[in-house]
Structure formats: C-alpha cells, structure tokens
C-alpha cells in the first residue's frame, strides 16, 4: 500500500495523502495518550451492605454435645462470593490476614487455629498474595477438662475479621456464637451435620514433613534456599509471616514444575535464631500433600547483600 508501484492516475494524490494521514493518526496518537481512558471501577466503602453479601460466616462444631475430657473441633466457615478472596495468615504482598478472637467458658482449652493451605493470587507489578476463594474452614481444636461438671451448656464465641478483595477491597467481620450441651462423661456425643466437612478439611491441613513419609531435603547454596522433594512433579511454597526475611522474586521462585525449588532469601538482617518456615504443596502424580517445613538458617552464609 505504501510506496507501491502503480500507474499515475487522477485519484492517487488524494489516496496517498489520506493513507499517510491515517498512518499518523493510528500510530502516533497512543504516544500522546489521546485514546480515551478506560471505564472507572466503582469502589465499595467500609460498612456497605455489600460486605455482608460478599462473605457469609458460620461457626460449626463436629459434635452435637461435649463431655468431660473430650476433644472436639470447632470451625469457622467462610463462604465467599465468586471471584472474591480472603487472606491467609501470611497475606503476601498486599491485603490483611484473616483474624480470630476466640473465647471459651472455663473448663475448656482452645488450641491454635489450623489454617488450610491457601492459593496464589498473582497481580501486575510482580505482586503475590495468598488467599482463599469460594469456601474455607478454619479448624479450632477444643478440649474439655476431665473434671468438667457434666451439666448445662458451653458457649463459644469467635469474632472473625477479614479483608475481602477482588479488584476493590472491603473489610468485613462477624461475631459468631455456638452453644453446646455438656453431657456426662460416659455419654457419646453424636456427630454434628458439619462433621464430615470439618473432618475432610482437618485431614488436608498441612502436617510436619516427618509425618508424611515424604523425602524432603533443604539446603543452602549461598543465600538461596533449596528445597528438593523426591519424585515431585510440582512444588509450591507458602511462607509463614516473617519480619526478618523475604523471598526474592516470589512469583517466579516459590513455584516450580519439578522437584526442586530455589528461593533467594533476602534481608541483611536475617534472624539466625529462627528457621525459615512455611507450607510446601507437593504434587506427585495425582497425589497432593501439604507439608510444614522449616529450614535452619544456620546453614545460610553470612553474605552482605
């Protein structure tokens, strides 16, 4: 079209000039930002009713009663609107961890919240968050004292707060309460409706590597942490929250198709008294396991970054 060989004609001067002008408009205008801006995103304000619709929270139990000396599990279940997510205990580059304030009556001991492994959310700017989508259960272990009086009821409360994000973000929370009858020592509390879901989630909670019978090796090559898992097809690392170290280029380095992760551990002030820890998702064939791993930083050389 441009500079092509054609016999002279009366229409060619006009056509050539118009073509050239068109080229200027198409090619040059973007350089000057003349294209109209995209549509603005609406944003949600804290306290909007949409917050309640985005995340539904429930407090569940795996048994319908509790007896002295019994162990049971509570669970905070969050059902999340499609395409929205709430955050893991390490939120990642942005966001806020989901938080729990748990109270139990006298005679009951509450264990640490058990967090399922999250999923990765990669965003422009090489940012990586760790989130949950659709539905997630957080398991709360409970033990009743052996000398608990088998009478009355026990009321448990959980104040849960979250940040739900899609493009916009909105804070949310719920004050949850669950009351269970306290029955005699030799009575057998029945399984509650939520037992199966709680048991299935609890089974998927990451476990210490030694309990999984998987060959996991950690080692250091200068300031790079190497995590190798025999026979793994895919590895993903979800680091625990940490103040004194961070992983270089986590979008690329914390996920690999293969059996070896190599993660640069950055920070001039690595606290050598504490290990680098997190959850390792291990895919071997059709099997997926979640292992809690720790890497002793004593093996990391003192290298000025």
Where does this chain bind another protein (CB under 8 A)? 2-3, 8, 12-14, 16-17, 19-21, 23-24, 27-28, 30-33, 37-41, 43-46, 93-96, 99, 123-127, 129, 161, 165, 167-171, 243
Q: How far apart are CA 165 and CA 127, in angstroms?
A: 14
Q: Which helix (H) or strand (E) holds 97?
A: none
Q: How far apart are CA 305 and CA 222, in angstroms?
A: 11
Q: Which is nearer to another protein, 61 or 80 (CB)?
A: 80
Q: How far is the CB of 256 from another protein (least distance, A)?
A: 23
Q: Which is nearer to another protein, 47 or 152 (CB)?
A: 47
Q: How far is the CB of 225 from another protein (least distance, A)?
A: 21
- What does the longest C-alpha to C-alpha distance in the chain come to? 107
Distances (CA, A) of 265 to 56, 59, 188, 295: 38, 38, 50, 11
Q: Which is nearer to another protein, 25 or 203 (CB)?
A: 25
Structure tokens at 188: 């057998």
Q: How far is the CB of 37 from another protein (least distance, A)?
A: 5
Q: How far is the CB of 11 from another protein (least distance, A)?
A: 11
Q: How far is the CB of 192 from another protein (least distance, A)?
A: 31
Q: Which is nearer to another protein, 48 or 215 (CB)?
A: 48
Distances (CA, A) of 88 to 43, 131, 133, 140, 301: 23, 5, 11, 15, 31
Helix (H, G, I), strand (E, B) or coil at 8: coil
Q: Which is nearer to another protein, 40 or 211 (CB)?
A: 40
Q: How far is the CB of 92 from another protein (least distance, A)?
A: 9
Q: How far apart are CA 10 and CA 126, in angstroms?
A: 56
Distances (CA, A) of 30 to 2, 17, 60, 124, 299: 21, 21, 55, 21, 52
Residue 68: partners with Cβ closer than 8 Å, 6 or more residues away: 144, 145, 146, 147, 148, 149, 150, 182, 184, 185
Q: How far is the CB of 60 from another protein (least distance, A)?
A: 25
Q: Which is nearer to another protein, 162 or 229 (CB)?
A: 162
Q: CA angle, corner 29, sides to 28 and 34, nearest 5?
A: 160
Q: Which is nearer to another protein, 3 or 301 (CB)?
A: 3
Q: Which is nearer to another protein, 93 or 204 (CB)?
A: 93
Pairing of strands 153-165, 99-103: antiparallel
Q: How far is the CB of 114 from another protein (least distance, A)?
A: 23
Q: How far apart are CA 4 and CA 26, in angstroms?
A: 20
Beta bridge mates, 115: none
Distances (CA, A) of 40 to 76, 115, 143, 160, 161: 35, 36, 51, 32, 28
């Amino acid at each position: 079209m441009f500079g092509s060989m054609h016999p002279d004609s009366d229409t060619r001067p006009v056509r050539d000039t118009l073509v050239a002008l068109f080229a200027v408009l198409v090619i040059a205008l973007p350089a000057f930002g003349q294209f109209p801006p995209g549509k603005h995103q609406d944003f949600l304000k804290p306290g909007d009713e949409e917050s309640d619709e985005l995340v539904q929270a429930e407090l569940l139990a795996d048994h319908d009663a509790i007896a002295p000396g019994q162990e049971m599990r509570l669970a905070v279940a969050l059902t999340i609107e499609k395409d929205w997510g709430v955050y893991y205990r390490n939120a990642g580059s942005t966001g806020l961890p989901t938080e729990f304030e748990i109270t139990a009556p006298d005679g009951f001991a509450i264990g640490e919240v058990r967090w399922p492994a999250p999923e990765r959310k990669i965003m422009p700017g090489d940012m990586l968050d760790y989130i949950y989508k659709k539905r997630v259960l957080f398991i709360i272990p409970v033990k009743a004292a052996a000398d608990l009086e088998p009478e009355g009821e026990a009321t448990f409360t959980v104040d849960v707060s979250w940040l739900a994000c899609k493009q916009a973000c909105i804070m949310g929370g719920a004050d949850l309460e669950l009351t269970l009858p306290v029955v005699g020592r030799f009575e057998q509390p029945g399984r509650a409706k939520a037992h199966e879901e709680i048991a299935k989630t609890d089974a998927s909670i990451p476990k210490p590597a030694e309990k999984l019978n998987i060959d996991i090796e950690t080692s250091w090559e200068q300031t790079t942490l190497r995590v190798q898992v025999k026979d793994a097809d895919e590895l993903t690392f979800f680091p625990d929250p940490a103040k004194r170290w961070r992983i270089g280029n986590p979008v690329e380095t914390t996920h690999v198709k293969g059996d070896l992760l190599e993660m640069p551990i950055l920070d001039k002030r690595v606290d050598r008294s504490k290990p680098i820890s997190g959850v390792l998702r291990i895919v071997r064939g059709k099997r997926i396991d979640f292992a809690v791993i720790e890497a002793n930083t004593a093996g990391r050389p003192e290298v000025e970054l």
